[in-house]
Amino acid sequence: MKPIIEFVHVVKEYGVGEGVFRALDDVSFVIQEGEFVVILGPSGAGKSTVLNLLGGMDRASSGEIRIKDQNIAGYSEQQLTEYRAKNVGFVFQFYNLIPTLTAWENVALTKEISGESLDADEVLASVGLAPHRNQFPSQLSGGEQQRVAIARAICKNPAMLLCDEPTGALDSETGTAILTLLQKLSREEGKTVIIVTHNSSLAKAADKVISIRNGKVHSVEIHEEPLAVSEVRE
Protein backbone atom coordinates (compact mmCIF):
# COMPACT_ATOMS: atom_id res chain seq x y z
CA MET A 1 0.00 0.00 0.00
CA LYS A 2 1.05 3.60 -0.55
CA PRO A 3 0.06 6.80 1.27
CA ILE A 4 -3.09 8.43 -0.02
CA ILE A 5 -3.40 10.98 2.81
CA GLU A 6 -0.73 12.85 4.75
CA PHE A 7 -1.53 15.42 7.41
CA VAL A 8 1.64 17.39 8.10
CA HIS A 9 1.65 19.68 11.17
CA VAL A 10 -1.93 20.79 10.50
CA VAL A 11 -3.39 23.59 12.62
CA LYS A 12 -6.99 24.76 12.43
CA GLU A 13 -8.07 27.87 14.34
CA TYR A 14 -11.43 29.60 14.62
CA GLY A 15 -12.10 33.11 15.86
CA VAL A 16 -14.26 33.10 18.98
CA GLY A 17 -15.24 36.58 20.06
CA GLU A 18 -11.97 38.43 20.48
CA GLY A 19 -10.06 35.21 21.04
CA VAL A 20 -8.96 32.19 19.02
CA PHE A 21 -10.00 28.56 19.45
CA ARG A 22 -7.51 25.99 18.18
CA ALA A 23 -9.60 23.02 17.01
CA LEU A 24 -6.54 21.13 15.70
CA ASP A 25 -3.10 21.67 17.15
CA ASP A 26 -0.12 20.40 15.11
CA VAL A 27 -1.81 17.23 13.82
CA SER A 28 0.21 14.79 11.71
CA PHE A 29 -0.67 11.30 10.47
CA VAL A 30 -0.55 9.09 7.36
CA ILE A 31 -3.28 6.92 5.86
CA GLN A 32 -2.45 4.26 3.29
CA GLU A 33 -4.50 3.56 0.19
CA GLY A 34 -7.20 0.95 0.86
CA GLU A 35 -7.04 1.19 4.66
CA PHE A 36 -10.10 0.90 6.90
CA VAL A 37 -9.43 3.70 9.38
CA VAL A 38 -11.22 4.80 12.54
CA ILE A 39 -10.70 8.33 13.84
CA LEU A 40 -11.66 8.02 17.48
CA GLY A 41 -12.31 10.57 20.17
CA PRO A 42 -14.92 12.20 22.41
CA SER A 43 -17.26 14.94 21.28
CA GLY A 44 -15.37 18.16 20.65
CA ALA A 45 -12.00 16.45 20.28
CA GLY A 46 -11.46 17.63 16.69
CA LYS A 47 -12.54 14.51 14.77
CA SER A 48 -15.10 16.25 12.56
CA THR A 49 -12.65 19.07 11.88
CA VAL A 50 -10.24 16.48 10.47
CA LEU A 51 -13.02 15.08 8.28
CA ASN A 52 -14.02 18.53 7.05
CA LEU A 53 -10.42 19.30 6.09
CA LEU A 54 -10.03 15.94 4.34
CA GLY A 55 -13.25 16.54 2.45
CA GLY A 56 -12.19 19.99 1.29
CA MET A 57 -15.11 21.57 3.14
CA ASP A 58 -12.83 23.67 5.33
CA ARG A 59 -9.29 25.05 5.15
CA ALA A 60 -6.33 24.51 7.44
CA SER A 61 -4.88 27.57 9.17
CA SER A 62 -1.41 26.15 8.59
CA GLY A 63 0.31 22.89 7.66
CA GLU A 64 -0.12 20.62 4.65
CA ILE A 65 -2.86 18.18 3.69
CA ARG A 66 -1.46 15.96 0.95
CA ILE A 67 -3.90 13.84 -1.02
CA LYS A 68 -2.13 11.69 -3.59
CA ASP A 69 0.92 13.96 -3.19
CA GLN A 70 -1.13 17.11 -3.89
CA ASN A 71 -1.33 19.70 -1.10
CA ILE A 72 -5.02 20.60 -1.06
CA ALA A 73 -4.41 23.14 1.73
CA GLY A 74 -3.26 25.50 -0.99
CA TYR A 75 -6.14 24.89 -3.39
CA SER A 76 -8.46 27.61 -4.66
CA GLU A 77 -12.21 27.31 -4.12
CA GLN A 78 -12.61 26.01 -7.68
CA GLN A 79 -9.89 23.44 -7.16
CA LEU A 80 -11.53 22.29 -3.91
CA THR A 81 -14.88 21.92 -5.69
CA GLU A 82 -13.25 19.72 -8.34
CA TYR A 83 -11.36 17.79 -5.66
CA ARG A 84 -14.58 17.00 -3.76
CA ALA A 85 -16.35 15.92 -6.94
CA LYS A 86 -13.62 13.54 -8.08
CA ASN A 87 -12.02 12.20 -4.92
CA VAL A 88 -14.44 12.15 -2.00
CA GLY A 89 -17.58 10.21 -1.16
CA PHE A 90 -19.40 11.42 1.96
CA VAL A 91 -21.55 9.29 4.29
CA PHE A 92 -23.21 11.13 7.17
CA GLN A 93 -25.17 10.11 10.26
CA PHE A 94 -28.33 11.46 8.62
CA TYR A 95 -28.75 10.20 5.11
CA ASN A 96 -29.35 13.49 3.24
CA LEU A 97 -31.33 11.75 0.50
CA ILE A 98 -33.62 13.77 -1.78
CA PRO A 99 -37.11 12.65 -0.71
CA THR A 100 -38.75 13.22 -4.12
CA LEU A 101 -36.26 10.95 -5.91
CA THR A 102 -36.18 7.15 -5.94
CA ALA A 103 -33.24 5.19 -4.59
CA TRP A 104 -31.90 4.79 -8.12
CA GLU A 105 -32.32 8.48 -8.90
CA ASN A 106 -30.53 9.50 -5.68
CA VAL A 107 -27.58 7.33 -6.65
CA ALA A 108 -27.57 8.23 -10.34
CA LEU A 109 -27.27 11.94 -9.49
CA THR A 110 -23.53 11.42 -9.17
CA LYS A 111 -23.22 11.23 -12.95
CA GLU A 112 -23.82 14.99 -12.99
CA ILE A 113 -20.81 15.75 -10.80
CA SER A 114 -18.33 13.02 -11.66
CA GLY A 115 -17.21 11.99 -15.12
CA GLU A 116 -15.99 8.63 -13.81
CA SER A 117 -19.12 7.51 -12.00
CA LEU A 118 -20.11 3.86 -11.86
CA ASP A 119 -23.35 2.28 -13.07
CA ALA A 120 -26.10 3.10 -10.55
CA ASP A 121 -27.86 -0.27 -10.93
CA GLU A 122 -24.63 -2.18 -10.33
CA VAL A 123 -23.82 -0.13 -7.24
CA LEU A 124 -27.31 -0.57 -5.80
CA ALA A 125 -27.01 -4.32 -6.36
CA SER A 126 -23.64 -4.34 -4.58
CA VAL A 127 -25.25 -2.96 -1.42
CA GLY A 128 -28.22 -5.31 -1.68
CA LEU A 129 -30.79 -2.78 -2.82
CA ALA A 130 -31.56 -3.84 -6.40
CA PRO A 131 -35.17 -4.79 -5.44
CA HIS A 132 -35.70 -1.30 -3.96
CA ARG A 133 -34.37 0.78 -6.86
CA ASN A 134 -37.76 2.41 -7.57
CA GLN A 135 -38.73 3.12 -3.98
CA PHE A 136 -38.60 6.56 -2.39
CA PRO A 137 -36.66 7.21 0.85
CA SER A 138 -39.90 7.33 2.88
CA GLN A 139 -40.59 3.75 1.78
CA LEU A 140 -37.24 2.48 3.05
CA SER A 141 -36.02 1.58 6.53
CA GLY A 142 -33.23 3.57 8.17
CA GLY A 143 -30.67 0.92 7.28
CA GLU A 144 -31.84 0.83 3.68
CA GLN A 145 -31.66 4.62 3.45
CA GLN A 146 -28.10 4.54 4.77
CA ARG A 147 -27.21 1.91 2.17
CA VAL A 148 -28.59 4.22 -0.52
CA ALA A 149 -26.38 6.98 0.90
CA ILE A 150 -23.36 4.66 0.76
CA ALA A 151 -24.27 3.62 -2.80
CA ARG A 152 -24.48 7.29 -3.77
CA ALA A 153 -21.05 7.90 -2.26
CA ILE A 154 -19.34 4.97 -3.98
CA CYS A 155 -21.10 5.56 -7.32
CA LYS A 156 -18.81 8.57 -7.81
CA ASN A 157 -15.94 6.05 -7.78
CA PRO A 158 -14.04 8.21 -5.27
CA ALA A 159 -10.55 7.67 -3.93
CA MET A 160 -11.91 7.66 -0.37
CA LEU A 161 -15.10 7.40 1.64
CA LEU A 162 -15.44 9.81 4.56
CA CYS A 163 -18.01 8.63 7.10
CA ASP A 164 -19.18 10.81 9.98
CA GLU A 165 -20.87 8.64 12.66
CA PRO A 166 -22.56 6.62 9.87
CA THR A 167 -24.47 4.36 12.28
CA GLY A 168 -25.43 6.99 14.85
CA ALA A 169 -29.12 6.96 13.84
CA LEU A 170 -29.39 3.16 13.51
CA ASP A 171 -30.08 0.28 15.89
CA SER A 172 -27.18 -2.01 16.80
CA GLU A 173 -28.01 -4.82 14.36
CA THR A 174 -28.50 -2.47 11.41
CA GLY A 175 -25.39 -0.51 12.39
CA THR A 176 -23.35 -3.70 12.31
CA ALA A 177 -24.61 -4.45 8.80
CA ILE A 178 -23.65 -0.96 7.59
CA LEU A 179 -20.18 -1.11 9.13
CA THR A 180 -19.67 -4.60 7.68
CA LEU A 181 -20.51 -3.19 4.25
CA LEU A 182 -17.99 -0.36 4.70
CA GLN A 183 -15.31 -2.82 5.82
CA LYS A 184 -16.08 -4.99 2.78
CA LEU A 185 -15.59 -1.99 0.47
CA SER A 186 -12.12 -1.57 1.93
CA ARG A 187 -11.21 -5.26 1.91
CA GLU A 188 -12.63 -6.27 -1.46
CA GLU A 189 -12.85 -3.06 -3.48
CA GLY A 190 -9.68 -1.37 -2.19
CA LYS A 191 -11.51 1.77 -1.09
CA THR A 192 -9.93 3.95 1.55
CA VAL A 193 -12.63 4.17 4.23
CA ILE A 194 -12.33 6.66 7.10
CA ILE A 195 -14.91 6.56 9.88
CA VAL A 196 -15.18 9.28 12.51
CA THR A 197 -16.76 7.97 15.69
CA HIS A 198 -16.74 8.12 19.48
CA ASN A 199 -17.51 4.37 19.60
CA SER A 200 -14.32 2.69 20.80
CA SER A 201 -15.75 -0.82 20.19
CA LEU A 202 -15.19 -0.38 16.46
CA ALA A 203 -11.46 0.18 16.90
CA LYS A 204 -10.53 -3.53 16.83
CA ALA A 205 -11.97 -3.86 13.31
CA ALA A 206 -9.82 -1.06 11.92
CA ASP A 207 -6.49 -1.36 10.13
CA LYS A 208 -5.51 1.89 11.82
CA VAL A 209 -6.97 3.82 14.76
CA ILE A 210 -6.13 7.51 15.08
CA SER A 211 -7.16 8.75 18.53
CA ILE A 212 -7.69 12.48 18.87
CA ARG A 213 -8.05 14.39 22.12
CA ASN A 214 -8.21 18.12 22.63
CA GLY A 215 -7.24 18.80 19.03
CA LYS A 216 -4.09 16.66 19.14
CA VAL A 217 -3.25 13.15 17.96
CA HIS A 218 -3.12 11.16 21.18
CA SER A 219 -2.08 7.87 19.55
CA VAL A 220 -1.96 5.94 16.30
CA GLU A 221 -2.57 2.19 16.58
CA ILE A 222 -2.01 -0.23 13.71
CA HIS A 223 -3.71 -3.64 13.64
CA GLU A 224 -1.99 -6.23 11.48
CA GLU A 225 -4.95 -8.60 11.83
CA PRO A 226 -8.09 -6.54 12.48
CA LEU A 227 -11.28 -8.33 13.42
CA ALA A 228 -14.42 -8.47 11.32
CA VAL A 229 -17.01 -5.93 12.41
CA SER A 230 -19.40 -8.73 13.38
CA GLU A 231 -16.80 -10.16 15.76
CA VAL A 232 -16.28 -6.83 17.47
CA ARG A 233 -19.91 -5.95 17.99
CA GLU A 234 -21.33 -9.29 19.05
Per the confidence metrics, is the pTM higher than 0.85?
yes
The stretches of 76-208 forming alpha helices (DSSP H) are: 77-87, 103-108, 120-126, 142-155, 172-189
Radius of gyration from C-alpha coordinates of the chain: 17
Does residue 8 lie within any of the structural domains? no
Closest CA to 47 of 225, 200, 195: 195
Does residue 190 lie within any of the structural domains? yes
Q: Are 21 and 49 in contact (CB under 8 A)?
A: no
234 has a pLDDT exceeding 60 = no
pLDDT tens column, 169-216: 777 887 888 888 889 889 988 889 999 988 888 899 999 999 999 999
pLDDT tens column, 220-232: 999 999 999 888 8
Domain count, the chain: 1
Does residue 84 lie within any of the structural domains? yes
Kindly report the CATH number assigned to the domain that includes residue 196: 3.40.50.300
Identify the band that residue 76 occupies on the pLDDT scale cut at 50, 70 and 90: very high
User: What does the pLDDT read at residue 113?
Assistant: 66
